A and B are shown apart, each in its own frame.
Chain A
């Protein structure tokens, strides 16, 4: 295909003008040839496009011939295509038919109107999708409750599989993260409290901030990133391959088959992960307090019992089921919204993670305000 050379020469003969094409009239050399053809001016009288020296013709070449002929004809010349073999003639005819079927595209709306319409659609769309999420949440909760009432209908294998995926496999990362957060809290707390000679309060600082807030919040954020995205991507891929449609036609409810096991798995495992995070954080903080301030482990535990009631742990853990449901529902919902392209899976997965983390933080803030108003 390289070095495709085509010559275009215009000759005047007694009977009119002849445009002589020579060489390979193919797509590889189309750009320069098209420029040469554009330079040809119509003249009154007959013009012949002579192909007898053309070695190869493809659909792009035929397109060029036909558009050139039509332009010259429109400008007032009588144009004929000559010197074609049967194969070329049939190719030109085929392309001609194809070109005749092209309809002009509707004009695009103006930029500003487009923008205004876009903003309007965006706002309406956001509200509609919020309602859609609420509906999805409602259906999921209803199905989950239905299964809890009739536990024999529960699909045990997928539930265990997802518990393994979202729970056990997340143990190491959650433990490590929380342990490091504990160390950071211990270290920062120690360096501040030392200034007042209030070293022992480091235990309260670590315990309250971890148990009430950070342990479960950071766990939820990690789980949203790990499992929310996994839910969206796996359900989205199934959506693309029409597996969800297939399920529906087989009388299987996708919510019950796909969403409920994932939600239940998170509902069970997120509190466990949160508890592990709390313990790991206390371990890290205690270690730091011991090294930095000489607070012995025995002392740490005693102070922990004295100053931090079991309430602090409960206040943290009570949020876990809410986080679990919102992460699972947002992930699955976004997966169900995947449509058409592979790119859509990526967009929906990103949206699932961002929305889930955002929702987790909002719920956390609501709980914080609630608990402090209650004086807990």
Chain B
């Protein structure tokens, strides 16, 4: 959280800087209300960590912003456009400007890793095969996979490798925003730290905005500029790690002052 040269990473959250703006979001599944009047701003160029207990609707929030889940009420603006009301073509243009890493990687199982990375390029860019091959090979090693992983099918990779491959595919169109759903879950601690470092570095050099659902306190410490806590069906509080330590709410206190939190801070 210090000395990040990323543009606007340290800026005071001002209305006009918000790259994602969620207002009054309501999500229901049957009789279960998951979100009830949720507000959230994500600033351009920041790494925002979303934390919350299991089942508090973190994944649903991510899916709603990326248009995979239609909310019952509320408005969502991304890049200043109301994504719930834009035309199909405008939607496609917006979708090209973000990348999503799903919780389980969600790679296309019938394509190799390299073909997975090329799939969005093939759809949206006019690049010769030779260039796509070269870029895909670069993306494979960029996310820390061994070179030979490009020719492998997702089922031939470990869970952690699939996550990296998923990130490579999410970065395939060089997006401005990356949505990550628990990116370091299932990685070994060294792999997770390397993954954090990778995200941080890409975020800084590309000016990426990162929306990251995570349970990993180390990630929160290492790379998140701000943290948003999901509880009681809304964003309970947002702020820096230091702000979180001050919050007087049972769950937040438990989370940020628990034994694991102290261990993460110490490290």
Contact = CB atoms under 8 A, between A and B. Distances in A.
* Same assembly: yes
A57 B149 CA distance: 26
B113 to A, nearest CB: 13
B138 A102 contact: yes
B25 interface: no
Interface in B182-229: 201-202, 204-207
Contacts of B142: 59, 94-95, 98
Interface bin, chain B: 35 or more
Q: Is the interface of A mostly helix, strand, loop or mixed?
A: helix
B179 to A, nearest CB: 18
Interface stretch (B35-43, B47-55, B152-160, B256-264): B152-160
A30 interface: yes
Contact of A102 (B125, B131, B137): B137
A134 to B, nearest CB: 27
A329 to B, nearest CB: 25
Nearest to A66: B138
B174 A58 contact: yes
Interface in A75-123: 86-88, 90-91, 94-95, 97-103, 105
A359 B138 CA distance: 49
Q: Is the interface of B mostly helix, strand, loop or mixed?
A: helix
B144 to A, nearest CB: 9
Contacts of B174: 26-27, 58-60
Contacts of A95: 138, 142
B207 A87 contact: yes
A88 B125 CA distance: 23
A28 B139 contact: no
Contacts, number: 94
A34 to B, nearest CB: 6
A316 B62 CA distance: 60
A340 B205 contact: no
Given A30-B131, A59-B171, A341-B155, A102 B110 contact: no
B63 interface: no
Interface string A342-353: 111000000000
Given A59-B139, A94-B142, A87 B5 contact: yes
A1 interface: yes
A31 interface: yes
Contacts of A67: 134
A63 B110 contact: no
Given A90-B205, A103-B148, A27 B141 contact: no
Nearest to A104: B147
Contact of B201 (A58, A90, A99, A339): A90
Nearest to B135: A60
Interface string B1-44: 00001100000000000000000000000000000000000000
A339 B155 contact: yes
23 contacts: A26-B174, A58-B174, A58-B206, A59-B138, A59-B139, A63-B134, A86-B5, A91-B206, A95-B142, A97-B141, A98-B139, A98-B141, A99-B138, A99-B141, A102-B137, A102-B138, A102-B147, A103-B147, A103-B148, A105-B148, A105-B151, A340-B154, A341-B154
